[in-house]
Amino acid sequence: MSGLAVRDLHDLKDLQDVAAMFNRIWRPPPGIDAVSLEWLRALSHAGNYVAGAYAGERIVGASVGFLSAPAGQALHSHITGADKGHGIGFALKLHQREWALARGLDRITWTFDPLVRRNAHFNVAKLGARPEEYLPSFYGVMTDAINGGGDDSDRVLTTWRLAEPGVVAAVGRQPYRMEIRPGAAVGLGEADGRPVPGRTDAATVLVAVPEDIEGLRRGDPAAARSWRLAVREVLGGLLAEGGRVTGFHRRCFYVVERGGS
């Protein structure tokens, strides 16, 4: 987006803009904020990460994070929201990375729903971040428009190691091109919109996710639930056994290298 600027936010008016934007994106129930103004104020004042992306005077994206354990090494990015398109999310991540490096931090962590294809592609393929732990129903029951509908709030904890060669290449807009090793097995496939379990005993295992989990939650909750449970079992099981996510293939498959392979 021409004229896009990302900056740290401290003024109350700017923080109000962030809170309003998150409410517009997540659409929580009446009387509830996606992120409270008081919490944003406290985080910003204490030296944590609160940033906004602006097109002129209009806020088009924001990201909020806090310093996490181990002390002096990591930033946890809690929530990021942006208008669609125009590279706003990528610009926010570049700003977040520079912010962390300037404070001597070597990694940023965050969680995301492993069923959302576009987020998996952005985080794994475009940024070079790596899901490292599967967290079943991490936030419990959620009631906003994006996460509501009765689905469990499973997440994967993802680490962005800021100085790794793959990450440096990715932020320079030269992301790694995934090459699947011969003999890879499909640990979870798809047929007629439903998950199909396969083999997980190969050195490389591919784990599919649905094309549009949000649409399934609205139109076919049973199918959405079947995907949740299948990905939890296969991807969660592989990570628990020491498997490493090394890519996101064809915008639809996690690529997992099994531990010891």
> How much is the average pLDDT of 108-126?
97
Same domain? For 191 and 163 the reply is no
Per DSSP (E only), the strands in the chain are: 4-8, 49-55, 58-68, 74-82, 107-112, 130-135, 155-161, 185-191, 194-197, 204-208, 244-249, 253-257
Same domain? For 216 and 118 the reply is no
Q: What is the pTM of this model?
A: 0.93
The CATH number assigned to the domain holding 50 equals 3.40.630.30
Is the pLDDT at 1 greater than 60? The verdict is no
Same domain? For 136 and 51 the reply is yes
Residues listed for the chain: 261
Is the pLDDT at 2 greater than 70? The verdict is no
Domain boundary among 171, 200, 226: 171
Distance from C-alpha of 160 to C-alpha of 158, rounded to nearest angstrom = 7
Same domain? For 214 and 143 the reply is no
Q: What is the dihedral of CA 203, 133, 107, 173, to 10 degrees?
A: 50
In a domain, 22, yes or no: yes
Q: Would you give the distance in Å from CA 209 to the centre of its chain?
A: 14
Same domain? For 246 and 219 the reply is yes
Same domain? For 167 and 76 the reply is yes
Question: 232 in helix, strand or coil?
Answer: helix
The domain in which residue 216 lies consists of 185-257
For residue 214, count other CB atoms closer than 10 A to its CB. Answer: 17
Same domain? For 31 and 63 the reply is yes
In a domain, 158, yes or no: yes
pLDDT bracket for residue 74 (50, 70, 90): very high
Same domain? For 157 and 196 the reply is no
Contacts of 36 (CB under 8 A, 6+ apart): 19
Domain boundary among 171, 199, 225: 171
Distance from C-alpha of 159 to C-alpha of 75, rounded to nearest angstrom = 10
Number of domains into which the chain is organized: 2
Question: 42 in helix, strand or coil?
Answer: helix
Same domain? For 134 and 32 the reply is yes
Which of 110, 101, 28 minimizes the C-alpha distance to 63? 110
In a domain, 179, yes or no: no
pLDDT bracket for residue 261 (50, 70, 90): very low
Long-range contacts of 166-172 (CB under 8 A, 24+ apart): 166/128, 167/127, 167/128, 167/129, 169/128, 170/126, 170/127, 170/128, 171/93, 171/94, 171/97, 171/127, 171/128
Contact 168/221 with Cβ under 8 angstroms? no
Distance from C-alpha of 240 to C-alpha of 133, rounded to nearest angstrom = 7
Contact 60/25 with Cβ under 8 angstroms? no
Question: 195 in helix, strand or coil?
Answer: strand
In a domain, 150, yes or no: yes
Contacts of 34 (CB under 8 A, 6+ apart): 19, 22, 23, 25, 26, 28, 79, 144
Quick one: tokens of 157? Answer: 């904890």
> How much is the average pLDDT of 221-236?
96
In a domain, 87, yes or no: yes
Domain boundary among 145, 171, 197: 171
Same domain? For 102 and 148 the reply is yes
178-214 pLDDT per residue, tens: 889 899 999 999 999 999 999 999 999 999 999 999 9
Q: What is the pLDDT of residue 177?
A: 79
Distance from C-alpha of 42 to C-alpha of 26, rounded to nearest angstrom = 22
